[in-house]
Amino acid sequence: MSKLRGINVNNNIQIECDKKSVSISALKNGVQLALLDCQSIKNKDAYVKDLMDNYELDALLLTETWLQGDDVTWCLQSQLNQNGTKLDHCDRKDRPGGGIGLVYRDNSKVKLIKHDILRTFEYAIWKLVSGNICFHIIGIYRPPYSEKHRWTVNHFIDEITEFLTDVLPSIKNPIIMGDFNIHIDDESDAEACIFADIMNALGFIQHVTFSTQRHGHILDHIYTEVGSTISIASCCEDVFVSDHCLIRIFMNIPREDICQKRITFRKTNDLPLEEISRELSMSLKSSSTDGMVQEFENNVTAVLDKFAPVKSKIVTVRRKKPWFTREIAQQKHTVRRRERIFRKFKENHQLIALKKERNRYNWMIKQAKNVIISAKIIHAKGDSKQLYRIFKTITGDTQSNPFPEGRSHEQLAEEFANLFMDKTIRIRESLKHIHKYTPNPTEAPKLDKFTSLTTAEIRNIVNSMKTKHANHAAKNPT
């Protein structure tokens, strides 16, 4: 840990931790985020920078930074904008307090999409890319009710509901996090209960289950969408940097199933055709047909080994995408070629050409995906199970194992058998006191006379039957 302001780090002692308390940054295939209501970042930037490095955070959302529009110079010289991290800040212009910022690694793919200050809260939306997964962080800060901020929780609920309804359709894998100043853990708070019901109705799960302020209550919330590609593996509290504690979350990011294999090939693009022709012009010495064929194959192999020897390399094999056509692959090669040219010469017209080809590549992928998915949905028309499977495939929602863990198949079978036997006994016991129903005797009609039907009458009966699928293209039965 570097030297902190007003703190003698030499007094620190090393504490041996058990395996359960190991930092979650040791986990693989995931992203570690954090949330902190810092209440002025100016006097805490060095300490927050140390937290960022020690916990190996990928991104840290800050609320109540208390930065103004004239703090640009401080932001550029801050510890958070040096040595591998960047600070992206949205200040409250012409207003004291508030402010939202995101600290992230300088090698990360992060883009600020939108930020604004509404009546009851301020927000900022960042887009982050990790591997083949894209997700969005929606930072929220809602000031508490005061003489200068006369907006209640009910006003906030109305405004954020309208905001999320407008924003969510245009973003992927949203993570809503920030200081809401709502006691979400207080069941006697009617407004907090209404807000929790609204977020549940919008399809969000709240992950913070511990007090985030020194005086108690959960004021800082973290929400993810039900059925999202990403999932929160852990959410834990940490040090109190201000009146609020640092909240760390670890997200599981599904990785694409890939493997590597070794392939062999020959480079045949620039072969000396005249020399190869002279090498192959020699007459064959064998008299039999099989011998001549074998001799010719040996000569061709020897010539190829001379001018285009066999080479090998290790390639990455990914699962084939149905929309990744030959035309899209060629466009991808064009984009890579334009990128290499721009990196080499760094001319402005080359950058324009690269953006043009890249935009065309993205457009081609979107169009191909739309065609493939639309065709699958049309083909599954009328089959709800098939439609549900297609939806699960598109959203990446995989069903977890519903059976209890840590038990053998025999033990599970025995428990299920006992369950059903007990249930059957209980049902029989509950039916003992019920009067046995005896239906009134009725005479069943006797079928003693039959008449033959014509082919046209049979066809009319078959055509009038309701089928499971709305497909009337089937031929009439003979």
Domain assignment of residue 478, yes or no: no
| Domains of the chain: total | 3
In this prediction, residue 417 carries a pLDDT of 87
Mean pLDDT, consecutive 10-residue stretches, the chain (478 aa), reads 46 42 43 93 89 91 88 85 88 76 90 92 92 87 89 93 90 93 92 91 91 91 86 90 93 72 86 84 78 86 88 82 86 91 89 90 90 87 83 64 69 84 86 80 81 88 71 49
Cα→Cα distances 254→16, 249, 398, 413, 429, Å: 32, 16, 11, 32, 50
Same domain, 175 and 287: no
Instruction: Based on the fold, state whether residues 77 and 217 are members of the same structural domain.
Output: yes
- Each residue of 166-203: b (16+ CB within 10 Å) or e? ebbeebebbbbbbbbbbbbbeeebeebeebbeebeebe
Partners of 125 in the β-ladder: 114, 138
Q: Is residue 305 part of a domain?
A: yes
**Rounded Cα gap, residues 84 and 454, in angstroms:** 86
Beta strands in 118-244 (DSSP E): 122-130, 133-141, 174-179, 204-206, 220-225, 231-240
- For 421, phi and psi rounded to 5 degrees? -65, -45
- Among all chains, which residue has been given the structure tokens 């309208």? 162
Tokens of 475: 């031929």
**Residue 236 sits in the same domain as residue 313:** no
Query: Which domain covers residue 197, as residue numbers?
Result: 24-252
Residue type at 431 in one-letter notation? L
Q: Is residue 409 part of a domain?
A: no
Does residue 364 fall inside a structural domain?
yes
Grouping H, G, I as helix, E, B as strand and the rest as coil, residue 284 is coil
Q: Give the integer Cα–Cα distance in Å for 465 and 280.
A: 73
What the block records as the tokens of 315 is 């390639």
In the numeric block, the tokens 């004239």 are attached to 70
Residues 228 and 159 in one domain: yes
- Which of 287, 318, 349 marks a domain boundary? 318
| Pick from 242, 212, 214: nearest CA to 43 | 242
In a domain, 170, yes or no: yes
Roughly what angle, to the nearest 10 degrees, separates helices 289-307 and 273-280?
A: 150
Sign of CA dihedral 194, 199, 205, 208: negative
Domain boundary among 394, 412, 433: 394
- Same domain? 301 vs 335: no
d(CA 323, CA 316): 19
Note whether 203 and 345 are same-domain residues.
no
| Helix runs in 1-82, H state only | 45-54, 72-77
**What's the rounded Cα separation, in Å, for the pair 478 and 476?**
6
Distance from C-alpha of 10 to C-alpha of 324, rounded to nearest angstrom:
58
pLDDT (0 to 100) of residue 10: 52
The answer to whether residues 359 and 248 belong to one domain is no
Q: Is 396 left (phi over 0), alpha (psi -120 to 50) or beta?
A: left
Residue 141: closest CA among 39, 64, 34: 64
Residues 296 and 333 in one domain: no
CA-CA-CA-CA dihedral for 375, 381, 384, 385, to nearest 10: -50
Q: Are 101 and 144 part of one and the same domain?
A: yes
Enter the DSSP assignment of 244: B
168 lies in the same domain as 240? yes
pTM to 2 decimals?
Answer: 0.55
Joined together, the tokens standing for residue 356 give 């043009």
Q: Are residues 242 and 373 in the same domain?
A: no
Q: Distance (Å, rounded) from C-alpha 414 to C-alpha 402?
A: 17
Q: Point out which residues pair with 418 in neighbouring strands.
A: none
Q: What is the rounded CA–CA span in Å between residue 215 and residue 276?
A: 86
152 and 290 fall within a common domain: no
Is 98 within a domain? yes
The predicted pLDDT at position 405 comes to 64
The Cα 66–Cα 59 span in angstroms is: 19
CATH code at 201? 3.60.10.10
Does residue 87 lie in a domain region?
yes
Q: Is residue 363 part of a domain?
A: yes
**Which of 342, 362, 394 is where one domain is finished?**
394
How far is the C-alpha of 63 from the C-alpha of 257, rounded, in Å? 37
Distance CA 375, CA 369 (A): 10
- The encoded tokens of residue 327 equal 């035309």
